[in-house]
Every structure is written in C-alpha cells, then in structure tokens.
Chains A and B, each alone.
Chain A
C-alpha cells in the first residue's frame, strides 16, 4: 500500500551522519508537509519531525528534516547507538484523501 518509498535499510557508525530518503508524488509530498517518526522495538512511534523540518520539544537537533519537490529526507548527525530503530515518513495525499506512510527504514548503528 506504501505510496511513499523509503530504502529498507540504512547504517552508520557512531558519530557519523546518515540520511534517509522518502519519495512520493505531486499529490502528497509535493503539496503537503511531511512527518518523520522513530519507532524503537516494541514501542509506539514517536514524532521526530513535523512541517517538513520542525522538531517537537524534546527531540535533539541532531535530527533534521528537509523537503524538495516530491521527496523528503531525514538526516541524523552524531549517530548514537540508541538511534538504532525503524524510521517512517508520512504525509497526507490530496488525491486519495488518506494519510500515507512510507515502508520504513531500519537504521543499524554498526
């Protein structure tokens, strides 16, 4: 069902910067804002980024979001072991009138 495409996996070593992409279309990412979520094993997702690049209070500034055209990205700098989690992008689709989630990216900290 995912109309938002994410790479299934990403990895990095502690201290590195990693980036996760999210590709969509003109009726979703191209015209709406993007959320990014972090999901630790066995936990509910947590909002990391809203409005493409804003962080809720309590989210470290190591997490940054960006959007260009019909794609969005989440960058994590100063990678830490507890960043190991699944990351999801999401946005509204104007044509389908539904919320879309990406397929998720499993981040491994080597």
Chain B
C-alpha cells in the first residue's frame, strides 16, 4: 500500500526558512521510475507544482521559486525534504507531497508520461509574524 505523509511546522515567521518532510512507504525511492513531487495550494486557489526528485537524484523545480527552493532526499531512505527560504505570507497554504512516476524512452534517453498518482493528506502552513 502506497502512502505519503507530510510533516513540518504549521506556523513560520516571515523571512524564515520552511522545511517540510515527506515520509513515504509502499514504494522505493530507489526505483528508477519513481520520484516525489511537492505541490502546494494557497487557500481557495489552484494547485501549484513546486519541484520533484527522482531516484537518480534528478531534480526539477519551479523557475518562479528556484532561488528559494531546494529538494533533497532525507537521511532516511524513505524521506524527501523540501526547503523554502525567505518565506512570505503568500507562501501560506497546504503543501502536498505526491508520488510521481515516469517512463524512460530508451531511444531518446528522455522521459515521458509523468503521472502523479498517490498524494499525502497535506500539511497546512501559515506564514505570519
């Protein structure tokens, strides 16, 4: 059974760094096809993809947040950590981690068919002094 769960502070002060952990079970972060994405949702607004990391430590992240965002695997083999520096009130919202799978094209060496198939319940973060 695939599960993901987000953890981290519920309240962060402006200019501080937000660090969130996603703990996964039921699949391996070492699997070549599998990775973890972070996605957030401000209150009443749409989903916003932030970043993902795959088994080969390949990382992609939103260009809108790139300078403030980092994603990495945790010390535990079943954890992925997201850090967002210099947070502002607009960074408030629910943060989700989700399993992401993709297919490898042997001919081109590229990837395709990205699927975000299992989601954690989300963790709500408020940025306020």
Residues of A within 8 A of B (CB): 1-2, 31-33, 35, 37, 39, 43-47, 50-51, 56, 88, 90-92, 96-104
Closest-CB distance, A46 to chain B (whole angstroms): 7
Q: Give chain B's interface residue range (CB within 8 Å of chain A).
A: 20 to 34
Closest-CB distance, A67 to chain B (whole angstroms): 12
Contact status B60-A98, CB under 8 Å:
yes
Contact status B46-A104, CB under 8 Å:
yes
Contact status A101-B46, CB under 8 Å:
yes
Residue B14 CB within 8 A of the other chain: no
Residues of B within 8 A of A (CB): 37, 39, 46-49, 52, 60-64, 96, 100, 102, 112-122
The dominant DSSP class at the B interface is strand
A38 to B39, CA, bound (A): 15
Contact status B47-A32, CB under 8 Å:
no
Q: Knowing A45-B119, A46-B119, A97-B60 touch, does A33 contact B46 (C-beta < 8 A)?
A: no
Contact status B49-A98, CB under 8 Å:
yes
B47's contact among A33, A51, A91, A101, by CB below 8 Å, is which?
Answer: A101
Taking A2-B46, A47-B119, A99-B52 as given, write out 20 further A-B residue pairs in contact, using a Cβ cutoff of 8 Å, ordered by the A residue number.
A1-B48, A32-B114, A35-B114, A35-B115, A37-B47, A44-B119, A44-B121, A45-B96, A47-B118, A51-B115, A56-B117, A90-B116, A92-B102, A97-B60, A98-B62, A98-B63, A99-B39, A99-B114, A101-B49, A103-B46
Question: For residue A91, which residues in chain B have a CB less than 8 angstroms away from its CB?
Answer: 114
Question: For residue A47, which residues in chain B have a CB less than 8 angstroms away from its CB?
Answer: 115-119
A98 to B66, CA, bound (A): 11
A100 to B81, CA, bound (A): 21
Shortest 5 CB-CB distances between A and B: which pairs? A99-B49, A92-B114, A44-B119, A50-B115, A101-B47
Q: Knowing A44-B96, A45-B96 touch, does A51 contact B113 (C-beta < 8 A)?
A: yes
A33's contact among B62, B114, B121, by CB below 8 Å, is which?
Answer: B114
Contact status B63-A35, CB under 8 Å:
no
Closest-CB distance, A30 to chain B (whole angstroms): 12
